[in-house]
Structure 1
Amino acid sequence: MVDTDYRDLRENGFVTLPRLVAGAELRRLHGAVDRLKELARERTVSSGDFVLEAAGIGGWAAWQQGARALTGVLRSADRIHEHVPEFDAVQRSLDLAGGPVAGAVGSAGRLVNAFLWAKPPVVGSGKPWHQDIAFAPPQFGAEDNGIVTIWIALEPATEHNGCLEFIPGSHLLGLFPHTGDRERLPGEAPLDAAVEPHVADRHLPPVPARTVPLEPGSAVMFDGMVLHRSAPNTTTAQPRTAVSFVYQVPRPSWTRWKPATTDTAGV
């Protein structure tokens, strides 16, 4: 990994980490993803920690509506470090918590979750504008703690196949209102029509979004308060696969845990 100036994280809410993973460690992550996909190979409906993609309505909506999805085609997976311990072994080997996270916020983070973010060609659905901290459970203590995520591309992430987009500086403005349906709990009835939680356009700060294309092994590290999204995969043959590791840290001094004001013209 090249030397990184972490001021971008503090000032913009995100910073790229070129060539974070390479060689044997990158191969280990690919192998772990293969094992994760094998766990979902026979699934036809999203459940538990595995969300399958669905043509037309997207994986999240199909999951909430209880609709049949594309057999074994993962859109995302939660707690991947528990399903396939190799993910945890790799993040420990890379010392992500004590390296990039500590370098950015001043103290080592504690791994609280890890995700697979698969976006297959043609049917890969997008993710609307949101802040990760808005989905932290009450016991997380978001008033005192923050989140730093390291999102690692395992295949090229481009503007065509759905790389991440950020609104620079939005992490400084507080918590934005999120509208939509919460994820239904196990045993709850499916929803007739599901709207993924998101920040509506009228609440977005008037700042141009910035796309962050990444090569395999490169990453972007971002604050849990920064607004971000990803577009659908519009390619016919370019999958976009990534994994992310989420770390709890003491609330960074540059962020605030309170509703954002409606006047954001000064950003």
Structure 2
Amino acid sequence: MNPIDELRTAGYAVLDGLAGAAELDRLKAVVARLESAAAAMTRSSDDFVLEAEGVGGWVAWQQGATAVRGALRSVSRVHVHRPELVRIAADMGLPGEHVEPVAGTPVELINTFLWAKPARLGSEKPWHQDMAFAPEGFTDRHANVVTVWVAIDPATRENGCLEFYPGSHLGGLLPHVGDEERTGGRPRLERPVEPHIDRAALPARSAPARVPLDPGSAVMFDGRIVHRSAPNRAREPRRAISFVYALPR
């Protein structure tokens, strides 16, 4: 099945070897610079979220708690911090050769992320749908998003590869429980819970599919598909960079 059909029916499609050796080295250099920028950090910021022992990076961020020095969980707006990422995306054929043919429409890069799971410390990203976190007014201009998630390290079952409920993007948005992210001038919550889909609301007619990836390979997925990544229990890190493209309404 080709990527267009896979994305439409399953909600995700694997792109083996998307990044060649040269592009993968450039992506690794971007990651290294982000890690260097975070090396002395012990508290999360709006863009740089650090892991914390026991409670996980997202909860520690919302509590304003001390995290493990330099242990990144995620970085948002990577293309703002490292503008060279836009050129790397173009050299990999994003969006023109991969995303737009699948989406069937021109697309706009709206965010990029480093998703890092440090060895034995990387926390779970619970079941969710990306479009559930679209900011207010987003759907006035955009119909959906498509994400391309590129593995920097081997993504395995043991270190927290992505998992999807195939076809779940066709069922619309499910209710998410937990506290919304509170940043800026808003007060921190005493007991925040990372937003997620309650287990009872998860799709009942299909089983989740794990998607292990080699470095340089990618998975492209619909903004409404239900997905997660498990904690990293392995001895090696699991890092990836994702490119989020918005589809016009």
Partner SS state of residue 77, structure 1:
strand
How far did residue 188 of structure 1 move? 2.3
Residue 263 of structure 1 aligns with which residue? none
Q: 2: distance between equivalents of 1:209 and 1:142? A: 31
2:149 to 151, 158, 168: 151
Deviates more, 1:160-169 or 1:86-95: 86-95
User: Residues 229 and 118 of structure 1: is their aligned pair in 2 closer, same or farther, counting only changes over 3 Å?
Assistant: same
Percent of aligned pairs with the same residue? 52
1:27 to 14, 25, 28: 25
Q: TM-score, normalised by structure 1?
A: 0.90
How far did residue 46 of structure 1 move? 0.4
How far did residue 58 of structure 1 move? 0.4
Partner SS state of residue 247, structure 1:
strand
Where does structure 1 lack aligned partners over 5 or more consecutive residues?
Answer: 252-267
Partner SS state of residue 62, structure 2:
helix
Residue 167 of structure 1 aligns with which residue? 165
Q: Is the 8 A contact 1:4 1:17 kept in 2?
A: no
Q: 2: distance between equivalents of 1:35 and 1:120? A: 16
Q: TM-score, normalised by structure 2?
A: 0.96
Q: Is the 8 A contact 2:142 2:246 kept in 1?
A: no
Deviates more, 1:112-121 or 1:137-146: 137-146
Q: Is the 8 A contact 2:141 2:248 kept in 1?
A: no
Residue 56 of structure 2 aligns with which residue? 58
Residue 224 of structure 2 aligns with which residue? 225
Q: How does 1:9-88 map to 2 (within 5 A)?
A: 9-88=7-86
How far did residue 18 of structure 1 move? 0.2
Q: 2: distance between equivalents of 1:81 and 1:176? A: 30
User: Residues 142 and 240 of structure 1: is their aligned pair in 2 closer, same or farther, counting only changes over 3 Å?
Assistant: farther
Residue deviations 1:87-134 (CA, integer Å, cap 9, x gap): 111012223111111121112321000000000111110111000001
Residue 240 of structure 1 aligns with which residue? 238
Residue 200 of structure 1 aligns with which residue? 198
Q: 1: distance between equivalents of 2:183 and 2:158? A: 33
Question: CA-atom RMSD, angstroms?
Answer: 1.4
- What letter corresponds to residue 177 of structure 1 in structure 2? P
Q: 1: distance between equivalents of 2:140 and 2:131? A: 7
Q: How does 1:87-166 map to 2 (within 5 A)?
A: 87-141=85-139, 144-166=142-164
How far did residue 38 of structure 1 move? 1.3
Q: 1: distance between equivalents of 2:214 and 2:92? A: 18
Where does structure 2 lack aligned partners over 5 or more consecutive residues?
Answer: none
Residue 4 of structure 2 aligns with which residue? 6
How far did residue 250 of structure 1 move? 3.3
Q: 2: distance between equivalents of 1:185 and 1:70? A: 20
